[in-house]
């Protein structure tokens, strides 16, 4: 079993040699392919942003990132260097190979208009949300993904501790400007991202900011 304490590890990869680099503004979606063996780096450019991300098998999208398989496999809820992201078929999808943040959330899920009505107030439903980003990205794609595929996601750079007495807390982020997490793809993937636009809680320090994606072949 992998312990899930914070494990900081820097990467030796050179951003100048990346085959792909893109900056995603706050509140925008991103759907991109990553091939087996490639390395994906996600950079929290300005700090305390939440990048809400889902992964799918590129050749069989019924196989998706599974929070329950992942946390059962490693025996704990936080993601950091060495964590293996498992699929709903119990197979490794990606491995976290570097992490200068040290803790990423598996339980907080993605915001939605509907969940905003529950968490804050009925009239919050017209605010932009991660679910809208996900739906927009997949509606405009030929991925075959639908709402049924919007399963619990990873919130990179977000800190959602669980206490020993069973409370779920939304703490200040452990991330900061320029911190990054790097993942090696263990299969061909779709990567579905919402760069979270939530303004009702401190998950983005009330100031959503851009994130950067780099891919090495």
Partner 1 sequence: MNPLLTPTAAVDIDTRWQQIAPDLPAEKVLFSDVIPGGCHWSWMLPRGTTLRLVAQDAGANLSVVLYNARQKLERYNMPDSLKAQHTAHYSRGHVLMSDMGCAMASITADSLGWHDPLGLLLDAPRMRAKYGEHGYQQYRNGMYRSGRDGLLIEIGKYGLTRRDLVAPVNFFSKVSVDAEGRFAYHPHHARAGDHVDLRLDMDVIVAVSAAPHPLDPRQDYAPAAVGLTAWRSGPARQDDFCRGFRPECARALHNTDMQYLA
Among the candidate windows 29-37, 94-102, 118-126, 182-190, which touches partner 1 by CB under 8 A?
118-126
Instruction: Based on the shown chain and the rule CB under 8 A, indicate whether residue 126 belongs to the binding site for partner 1.
Output: no
* 162 part of the interface to partner 1, by CB under 8 A: yes
Q: Which stretch binds partner 1 (CB under 8 A): 12-20, 75-83, 173-181, 186-194?
A: 75-83
Q: Binders of partner 1 among 44-73, rule CB under 8 A?
A: 61-62, 64, 67-69, 71-72
Q: Closest approach of Cβ 178 to partner 1, in Å?
A: 24
For the bound state, the minimum distance from the C-beta of residue 6 to partner 1, rounded and expressed in Å, comes to 8
| Two tokens, residue 4 | 């899930």
12-20: long-range contacts, CB 8 A cutoff, minimum separation 24? 13/39, 13/41, 13/98, 13/182, 13/214, 13/216, 15/41, 15/214, 17/216, 18/214, 18/215, 18/216, 19/215, 19/216, 19/217, 20/213, 20/214, 20/215
Count of beta carbons in the 10 Å neighbourhood of residue 200: 13
For the CB of residue 27, give the shortest distance to partner 1 in the complex, in Å. 19
Comparison of 200 and 207: residue with beta carbon closer to partner 1: 200
Establish if 102 lies at the interface with partner 1 (CB under 8 A).
no
CA-to-CA separations, 67 to 37, 75, 132, 151, in angstroms, rounded: 22, 12, 21, 9
Count of residues interacting with partner 1 (CB under 8 A): 48
Candidate list 27, 29, 76, 102; residue touching partner 1; CB under 8 A: 76
CB-CB contact of 5 with 81 (8 Å): no
Q: Which residue has the tokens 């491995």?
A: 95
Q: Does 77 bind partner 1 (CB under 8 A)?
A: yes
Query: The tokens of 126 are what?
Result: 């017209």
According to the binding rule CB under 8 A, does residue 173 interact with partner 1? no
Query: Other C-beta atoms within 10 Å of 167: how many?
Result: 8
CB nearer to partner 1: give 56 or 216: 56
**Site residues, partner 1 (CB under 8 A):** 1, 3-5, 61-62, 64, 67-69, 71-72, 75-78, 88, 90, 107-110, 112-119, 121-122, 147-152, 160, 162-170
């Amino acid at each position: 079993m992998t312990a899930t304490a914070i494990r900081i590890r820097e990467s030796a990869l050179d951003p100048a040699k990346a085959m792909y680099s893109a900056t995603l503004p706050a509140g925008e979606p991103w759907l991109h392919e990553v091939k087996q063996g490639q390395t994906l780096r996600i950079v929290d450019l300005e700090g305390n942003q939440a990048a809400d991300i889902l992964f799918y098998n590129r050749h069989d999208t019924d196989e998706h990132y599974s929070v329950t398989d992942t946390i059962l496999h490693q025996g704990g809820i936080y993601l950091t260097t060495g964590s293996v992201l498992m699929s709903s078929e119990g197979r490794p999808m990606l491995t976290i190979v570097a992490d200068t943040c040290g803790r990423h959330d598996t339980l907080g899920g993605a915001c939605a208009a509907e969940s905003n009505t529950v968490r804050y107030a009925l009239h919050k439903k017209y605010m932009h949300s991660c679910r809208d980003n996900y739906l927009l990205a997949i509606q405009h794609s030929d991925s075959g993904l639908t709402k049924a595929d919007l399963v619990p996601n990873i919130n990179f750079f977000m800190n959602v501790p669980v206490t020993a007495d069973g409370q779920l807390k939304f703490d200040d982020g452990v991330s900061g400007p320029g911190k990054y997490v790097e993942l090696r793809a263990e299969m061909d993937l779709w990567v579905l991202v919402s760069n979270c636009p939530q303004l009702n809680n401190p998950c983005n320090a009330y100031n959503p900011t851009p994130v950067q994606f780099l891919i090495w072949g």
